[in-house]
Every structure is written in structure tokens, then in C-alpha cells.
Amino acid sequence: MRTALILLLMIALASVAGSLLPQWPNTPERVMRYRADHPVWGTFLDRAGLFDVFGSWWFVLLTTLLFVSLVACLVPRTRALWRAVRTPPMQAREIDAFPRYAQVAVAADPDQAIDAARWVLRRRRFRVARDPSRPALAGEKGLAREIGSLGFHWALILLLTGVIYGKGTGFSGLIAVVEGQTWVDAEANYDGTIRAGRFFDGGFTGTGLRLREFRSDFQRTGQPMDFVSRVDLLDPDGSVIRREDIRVNHPARIEGLWIHQSSFGWAPVIEVTDGGEVAASGPVVMDRDPAPEGVVEFAMPWRGVVKLPGAGTDGLDRAIELELWPDSRALTALLAEQEPQAMLVEFDPIIRFSVWEGALTDLSTNRLDTTGLDEVSSGIVGAGRTADLADGAALAAGDAGSGATISFTELRQYSVFQVGRDAGVPLVLAAAILVLVGLLPALYSSRRKVWVRADPDGDGSLLRVGGLAMQRKPQFEEEFDRLVGALVSSAGGRRAPDPGAGGPGPDQREPEEHEKVQTP
């Protein structure tokens, strides 16, 4: 037990470090900042795994050692408990040596007194064993303490098993779905890489999700009130299984997948034409600029890019950088008064765009690396309007301009979901409940034993009761006193002192017994 406790303490200390230092899985940007601020020290900490404490090899080692030592401790205790449950309570030779002891002369004869005592103890839920050789019995109560304690500790092991199984075979990833679009569960359809467990079998369900509508509500103060993604959950064949509203705190579950609301953003539908033909068309998922200190994040514009390889002049690549202001009043306010203003609702959205030409290095990301590119034009286009890419001028409906145009057809929202699978959840939950259930008797129950012996004495018997409590000794004193009272009254009550016998008093121990101090 001592080893397990020391290991537990070391895990707690490691956790302190893990909570004070930024961690890669939780706050990667803070780790990078820390490493930039402290180059040498940061590298050392990173090598030591202190930026990923809970995933480091030594944390895994500590946990493994803890559970090995726990099992090593639990197996013999469980065996001993098993034996204790199966064997009747042990008889005692010297009853008067126990911490609690009483002797009373009672009216019933020894066998009757013991039969009555057996009944009294049984009613108080003691396990009782009668001594075959003489009128005596042994009783025991409170095995629940050890059962609960062992249940608690085994449940901890079960819990860890559930965690390892669930994390090992599960995965988690992020998806961005634009209003009106359908997403299908397949590896390629996740944003970036998924976080998969070591034993993840690569199985994706093919079930789908169509985002019908996303809504966000804010208070006037800018505090968010509610985010809802109204979705259709789809079978692999495309038929709708059911409609659901996914909110924070209200995930959808389908085919073992958990789908959680994670974040949201804007996705303007853009159509680019070149020489009168459509070169690109569809929603552009945008990212919001990080807010500087003291500015609310909702005041920042959103950025996206349309990349058109080979679409520029002389076969150069072309990229159109987009800066969206979903509420154009915020841009006006910023330009006029230098005052950032939160954009909580859609209001005359506008896009500022700039056209770049040159050689694109990266076609996949949402970001534009402008090295090797030259800006050829820029302009502004409002929702439902079209602008000329050559000079940025607004075009009236039907005007083809230079032939290269950009249209901001409509503004939609996209919703980001966290999609994951963890088959260990039910096991972990069951283990957690078992932990709690085991804890209660382990803490509040106490193990105690009593022994009763009746020896012939005058025309009745001398009842001797010994008691021993492993825990909660003060409470046991009172329980023992009440028990003796019940034993005496069930054995015909106290017997009047026998005047002729000259023996000891009715309920006092014999004087010479004071000298006979025995220890068990």
C-alpha cells in the first residue's frame, strides 16, 4: 500500500507541473510562445516531456507502476476476504481478554441462553457460528467495509482499463460543414489529421450529416446566448435517419459517433469567372483574425482565399484573398472612428479582396503565402454583387467587365463539429459508479466481532460477552452496551443474587479477575 501511495503522490506532483506549464494538447500556442520566450529552458522542458505531461512516457510508466502495485496489493487482500466470507467466525478461548467485556448472571440455562443470543445477533445482521464443543458462539459483522474497499480499488483498475480501451480504439477529429452542405464520415473528410488511438482500426461509418441551418444568439453585451446547428443525420445511402439540433451541451450520437458543437464561422459563397466562364464557385470557409489585446474577437474580420492555379495572365497562378466584414457598419466605424465594433449579426456584409499573381506554393490551406506573388488589383464587393477582378470596380448586373469577375452570391455560416468515438465510455462510467458505491461502506462501515459464552451458574448461567471493533471504537462502545442489554433480556433477564452461594455479585466480575490481565 505504501508503494501505491507514493506513486499516487508522484502522479499528483506531475499533475501540478502539467497544470502550471502550458500543454501541447490543450494550449499549443502558449507552448510555442513559452518556447520562444525561454529558448534553452523551454527546449529542456520539452525534451523532458513537461509540455505534454499526461502523454509522456514517464507519466505512463508511473500509472503502470501504480496499477501493478495496486494489483499486487489487492490480490492477497481479495483472497483473504474470500476466505473470510467462506469461513465462519472464529471461536475465542479467552473472552474476557477482549477490549470490551461484560459478564452477567442470567436466568436461562446455558444452551437456552446461547440459542437466544444467536437469535439476537442474527437479527442484528451478525454472521454467527456456534461453538460445537460448548455453549458458546462467535459473531462477526461489517465485512462490507473490506468488500467496499476492495470494490473501490478494483473499480479504479477497471476505470483505467476502460480509459485505455476507449482511447486506444477511438479517435477524434474536427469537421467544418457549411450550411446546405453534406459531410460524410470518411478519413479524408476531416480537417487536418484526426487524433486516433494506437489500436484504431481505421473504420469509418459512412454515415453523413447535412447542416440545414446554423444560428447563434448573442446578448447586446456580446455575451453568447446559444449556438444551434440544425442537422439531418444521414444513412450511408443518403437517406435521412433523423433531424437533430446540436448545441453546446447537447451532442448528437449516431453509430457510436459523438458529434459535438465546437465552433462556427462565416462562409461566403463566391463565384469567380474568367473569360466569361466559371472558374470557381462555392462557399469559402473563413477564419477569423486573432484579436489583439483589448479587442473583442467578434470585432475582427474573417479571411479566406480562392486559389486558381494557372488562371492568371500568361499562365501564372492566381489567388484572390478575401477579407469578410459580416457587419459592414463595423468597418465603417473602424475607418471613421478607429473604434473596433463587435459583429454579432449579418448586416450588409462586404468583402474586400485583392488579387495576386505568381507561383503558388501551397494549394491546400486556407492561408495565402504571398512570397513569389504580386498584387495586381484590389476592390470591394457586397453581398449579391459582382466586381471586376482586373481593376476592382463594381459591375452592374449583366455587365461582364473585363471577363474576369468575382461575385459574392450570398453569406452562409459554417459550423465546426468535433466528431469522435470512444467505446470505453460505458465501461468508464460503470467503473466510476462502482468507485462511488464501494467508497461508502469502505468509509462508513466498520468491522466488529463479538463472542458469547454461557457457563452453568447456580440455577441459571453466567453469560460472558466479549467484543472487538477494528474501526469506530467509540461508537462500538455504545453498540456493545446495547447488545449486552439485549442478550441479557433475551436470556431471561438478570438473575437475582443467590444469597446462599456466596458467589460474586450478579453483574460484577469476580474480584480476582482484576488481577488476571490477559492479552490476546
Partner 1 sequence: MTDLQWARISNDAFNVALFAYIAAMVGYFAHLAFKRDAIWQISRAVAVAGVVANIVSIVARGFAADRVPWGNMYEYSSLLALLVVIGALVVVEGVYKVRSLTGFALMFSVLTMAVAVSFLYVGPGPLVPALNSYWIKIHVQAAIWGSSLFALGGIATIAYLVVDRAERRKLDALGSKDRPPIMGGALDLDADADADAPADLVPDPAEDVETRPAKRRLVPSAAGLDRLAYRIIALAFPIWTFAVIAGAVWAQEAWGRYWGWDPKETWSFITWVIFAGYLHARATNGWKGRRAAFIALVGFASLLVTYYVVNLWIVGLHSYAK
The total number of residues shown for the chain amounts to 520
Is position 25 an interface residue for partner 1 (rule: CB under 8 A)? Answer: yes
Q: Which stretch binds partner 1 (CB under 8 A): 79-87, 207-215, 243-251, 272-280?
A: 243-251
Is position 484 an interface residue for partner 1 (rule: CB under 8 A)? Answer: yes
Nearest 5°: phi and psi at 399? -85, 120
Residue 323 to residue 354: CA distance in whole angstroms: 9
Q: Which three cell numbers stand for residue 257?
A: 459517433
Is position 440 an interface residue for partner 1 (rule: CB under 8 A)? Answer: yes
Q: Strand pairing partners for 322?
A: 304, 353
Min dist. Cβ of residue 346 to partner 1 (A) = 20
Instruction: Please say whether the beta carbons of 518 and 134 come within 8 A.
Output: no
> Among residues 183, 264, 266, 480, which is the contact residue for partner 1, using CB under 8 A?
480
Task: Look up residue 333 and give its amino acid.
Answer: A
**Residue ranges in 48-87 that form contacts with partner 1 under rule CB under 8 A:** 53-54
- Give Dmax over CA atoms of the chain in angstroms: 134
Q: Which stretch binds partner 1 (CB under 8 A): 126-134, 335-343, 375-383, 428-436?
A: 428-436
Q: Which stretch binds partner 1 (CB under 8 A): 4-12, 67-75, 111-119, 445-453?
A: 4-12
CB of 229 or CB of 377, closer to partner 1: 229
CB of 228 or CB of 267, closer to partner 1: 228
Residue 260 to residue 84: CA distance in whole angstroms: 49
Q: Which stretch binds partner 1 (CB under 8 A): 237-245, 360-368, 453-461, 506-514?
A: 506-514
The label of the residue with cell 445511402 reads 237
Q: Which three cell numbers stand for residue 383?
A: 453581398
- Cα dihedral 110, 111, 115, 121 sign: positive
Residue 324 to residue 413: CA distance in whole angstroms: 12
Is position 473 an interface residue for partner 1 (rule: CB under 8 A)? Answer: yes
Is position 23 an interface residue for partner 1 (rule: CB under 8 A)? Answer: yes
From residue 199, how far is each of 72, 164, 186, 389 by CA, in Å?
A: 27, 10, 18, 51
Is position 393 an interface residue for partner 1 (rule: CB under 8 A)? Answer: no
Is position 19 an interface residue for partner 1 (rule: CB under 8 A)? Answer: yes
> Among residues 485, 496, 503, 510, which is the contact residue for partner 1, using CB under 8 A?
485
CB of 355 or CB of 465, closer to partner 1: 465
> Among residues 51, 126, 204, 227, which is the contact residue for partner 1, using CB under 8 A?
227
Q: Which three cell numbers stand for residue 92?
A: 475465542
CB of 75 or CB of 248, closer to partner 1: 248
Q: Which stretch binds partner 1 (CB under 8 A): 310-318, 395-403, 415-423, 453-461?
A: 415-423
Residue 317 to residue 307: CA distance in whole angstroms: 8
Is position 193 an interface residue for partner 1 (rule: CB under 8 A)? Answer: no
CB of 17 or CB of 394, closer to partner 1: 17
* CA angle centred on 223, ends 218 and 228, rounded to 5°: 45
> Among residues 133, 193, 239, 249, which is the contact residue for partner 1, using CB under 8 A?
249
**Residue ranges in 134-173 that form contacts with partner 1 under rule CB under 8 A:** 163, 172
CB of 334 or CB of 435, closer to partner 1: 435
> Among residues 102, 177, 196, 324, which is the contact residue for partner 1, using CB under 8 A?
102
Instruction: Supply the Cα-derived Rg of the chain in whole angstroms.
Output: 39
Residue 241 to residue 254: CA distance in whole angstroms: 9
Min dist. Cβ of residue 109 to partner 1 (A) = 23
From residue 487, how far is each of 77, 491, 503 by CA, in Å?
A: 33, 6, 22
> Among residues 118, 141, 210, 260, which is the contact residue for partner 1, using CB under 8 A?
260
CB of 200 or CB of 258, closer to partner 1: 258
Is position 99 an interface residue for partner 1 (rule: CB under 8 A)? Answer: yes
Residue 261 to residue 246: CA distance in whole angstroms: 6
To which H or E segment does residue 246 belong?
strand 240-247
Min dist. Cβ of residue 260 to partner 1 (A) = 4
> Among residues 98, 126, 154, 302, which is the contact residue for partner 1, using CB under 8 A?
98
Residue 491 to residue 55: CA distance in whole angstroms: 66
Q: Tell how strand 373-382 and strand 350-358 pair up.
A: antiparallel
